[in-house]
Amino acid sequence: MALRAGWIGLGAMGAPMAMHLLRAGHPLAVWARRKEVMKPHVDAGARRCASPAEVAANADVVFTMVTATADSEAVALGEESIVEGARPGTVVVDMATVSPVATREIAARLKARDLEHLDAPVSGGPAGAAAATLAIMVGGRPEVFARVKPLLARLGRHVLHMGGHGAGQVTKLCNQVAQVVNVQGIAEAMLFAAVNGVDPAKVREALMGGFAASKMLELLGERMVDRTFDAGIPARLHHKDFGLVVELAHELGIAMPATALTAQQLAALMGHGWGTYDTSSLLRVLEAQSGVKPGG
Amino acid sequence: MALRAGWIGLGAMGAPMAMHLLRAGHPLAVWARRKEVMKPHVDAGARRCASPAEVAANADVVFTMVTATADSEAVALGEESIVEGARPGTVVVDMATVSPVATREIAARLKARDLEHLDAPVSGGPAGAAAATLAIMVGGRPEVFARVKPLLARLGRHVLHMGGHGAGQVTKLCNQVAQVVNVQGIAEAMLFAAVNGVDPAKVREALMGGFAASKMLELLGERMVDRTFDAGIPARLHHKDFGLVVELAHELGIAMPATALTAQQLAALMGHGWGTYDTSSLLRVLEAQSGVKPGG
């Protein structure tokens, strides 16, 4: 019989992901802070729950996809939370990007209640969630991963077990560092081209043929050229993730200078009120910093 | 009749490039500072010259591929240089990466002697030079570009006219900025993974499936994982190029903070004596800065 799934958090990412499980034939129990967002899933046959505890009481595997570390902790361990409703052996899968340190603590506290935990953050954005083509980076016990993997395979194309508790979160943060530092470099190259009077569109095309080629140059480089900063990944999520990395690097005592600098540029971006815009807006931050008119 | 080519500078890049022109049937005149490096070309039928002036006297198009801005200036305009031997209408094509500002000055001084100039720096490294798959970014007059393009097409796969004098150099510097800032971000991600106890090889594999995917993650990320820092692009060339960008950004009055920071990391790399190693050595700089043992 199909495993019973629970889903907590039905935002731009969670809503399509939960629907994939329902359509794959898994009985689904749902809860979200905003009651109205549950309607499409309830209409499609999901059980509407009054709390995370009720979700857990009706599921073998409970997925959580909420915004911040504090939210993940609250739905797992707070009032009317998963621990209040779950039977021993239930697996909690946190698909949000949260602190690896907090993840290890949550896993330990759930283990003390005989519950299992996986951290399984994703890359690919709302488009990847809708198309079920996400990259999913998983940390936790291998045998628990094996049990949950068929469900994760409904949500993404690359489902990889990275190591013990927190390893999925560490991998996701590595992804954010490599991705957004690259965007910062691309933004500086685009500014340099424009100010020197060379067409950024041509530069992007030339660079795609060489060693500077990247997914970000292809996608966000194009948005910088077209100046379509309103589509894509909200920069506030990268701002949040860079806060996690910088904090952890500080605790670990390792220098990550370009990460710290990019975190500052993302903070400046937030200061401009561009947090809901795409991270290609890092170009606009540079323009503002240098008093350069849009487009050079 | 095939245009007569001249080639000045037969290093790791210039030697295979000149050979491609010879094999394509162009009469070739060569000169290099170190006489012994001319032997393969002379054995294959090239004319051995005693100076850049003699090369210019025997060519319709003279290619220069020397290390630094001062070298490009010296072979074009110094003693026994191209201007001493060239007839009016001869085209000088500078394929080295040099200052866009110096490029515009050289072009103007050649124009005063009725000589044409193109800046045509390349991306792709010695492997791209050997396989004739380079990306070639060209600045200069369109009609001169059109005349020389068939020869450039023997050397690379992507031959793009970017704009007026210096536009090729600006594009190449944009390429270096986007490429090496990306390498710095990848190095920080790899350090973060290792110190957190997550296998960098697995992290690289996971990241190649998402938005952090890039040519540099594929190639230099692999070298960081394998710790094969001795193959590939010598970091001293990136150090040189970042000096050019930072200087020009300073003159233009534009902020390129991640570029400046990466220039500092490349300077630290040079300080460690790793300038002849691959730029993936930026990982080792981070390890040294944080007192992290190799591989975490």
- Residue B295 falls inside a structural domain: no
Q: What is the pTM of this model?
A: 0.93
Looking at the DSSP bridge assignments, the partners of residue B29 are B6, B47
- Residue B237 falls inside a structural domain: yes
- Residue B224 falls inside a structural domain: yes
Residue B199, chain A, CB below 8 Å: the answer is yes
Residue B294 has pLDDT above 80, yes or no: no
- Write out pLDDT tens, residues A180-204: 999 999 999 999 999 999 999 999 9
Beta-strand relationship, B47-48 and B28-31: parallel
Beta-strand relationship, A5-8 and A28-31: parallel
Contact between B166 and B143 under an 8 Å Cβ cutoff? The reply is: no
Binary contact (A158, B206; C-beta < 8 A): yes
Residue A258 is nearest to which of B185, B197, B256, comparing CB atoms? B185
Q: Mean pLDDT, to the nearest integer, of B184-205?
A: 97
Residue B251 has pLDDT above 80, yes or no: yes
Residue B296 has pLDDT above 80, yes or no: no
Same domain as A268, residue A237: yes
- Write out pLDDT tens, residues A54-70: 999 999 999 999 988 89
**The pLDDT value given to residue A232:** 79
Same domain as B117, residue B21: yes
Is B172 an annotated catalytic residue? yes
Least confident of A13-27, A226-240, A260-274, B26-40: A226-240
To which residue do tokens 């911040």 refer?
A: A68
**The pLDDT value given to residue B210:** 87
Residue B248 has which token pair? Answer: 């020009």
**The pLDDT value given to residue A209:** 87
Looking at the DSSP bridge assignments, the partners of residue B61 are B5, B91
Question: Residues of A numbered 113-132 whose beta carbons fall under 8 angstroms of chain B's beta carbons: which are they?
Answer: 123-125
Residue B280, chain A, CB below 8 Å: the answer is no
To which residue do tokens 């290390």 refer?
A: B67
CA separation for the pair A283, A229 (Å, rounded): 10
**The pLDDT value given to residue A255:** 97
Query: How many structural domains does chain B have?
Result: 2
Residue A233 has pLDDT above 90, yes or no: no
- Write out pLDDT tens, residues B7-26: 999 999 999 999 999 999 99
What CATH number does residue A23 fall under?
3.40.50.720
**The pLDDT value given to residue A295:** 59
Same domain as B187, residue B265: yes
CA separation for the pair A103, A248 (Å, rounded): 13
Instruction: Write down how long chain B is.
Output: 296
**Shortest Cα–Cα distance, B253 to chain A (Å):** 7
User: Which uninterrupted H or E stretch holds B118?
Assistant: strand B116-119
Same domain as A158, residue A178: no
- Write out pLDDT tens, residues B33-50: 999 999 999 999 999 999
**The pLDDT value given to residue A66:** 94
Q: How far is CA A258 from the centre of its chain?
A: 21
Binary contact (B185, A180; C-beta < 8 A): yes
Contact between A169 and A119 under an 8 Å Cβ cutoff? The reply is: yes
Residue B202 has which token pair? Answer: 């697995």
**The pLDDT value given to residue B58:** 98
Ramachandran angles phi, psi of B26, nearest 5°: -85, 125
To which residue do tokens 């889903």 refer?
A: A7
Residue A193, chain B, CB below 8 Å: the answer is yes
For residue A294, name the pLDDT band (cuts at 50, 70, 90): confident
- Residue A62 falls inside a structural domain: yes
Same domain as A18, residue A159: yes
Same domain as A81, residue A178: no
Average pLDDT of chain A, as a whole number = 96
- Which of A113, A135, A164 represents a domain boundary (last residue)? A164
- Residue B28 falls inside a structural domain: yes
Contact between B259 and B242 under an 8 Å Cβ cutoff? The reply is: yes
CA distances from B84 to A14, A277, B255 (A): 71, 57, 41
- Residue A42 falls inside a structural domain: yes
Look up residue B119 and give its amino acid: D
Nearest residue on chain B to A167, judged by CA atoms?
Answer: B198
- Write out pLDDT tens, residues A114-172: 999 999 999 988 889 999 999 999 999 999 999 999 999 999 999 999 999 999 999 99
Q: Mean pLDDT, to the nearest integer, of B177-204?
A: 98
Residue B175 is nearest to which of A162, A210, A256, comparing CB atoms? A210
What CATH number does residue B197 fall under?
1.10.1040.10
- Residue A295 falls inside a structural domain: no
Beta-strand relationship, A47-48 and A28-31: parallel
To which residue do tokens 């540029």 refer?
A: A265
CA separation for the pair A57, B24 (Å, rounded): 76
Residues of the domain holding A251: 171-290
**The pLDDT value given to residue B295:** 59
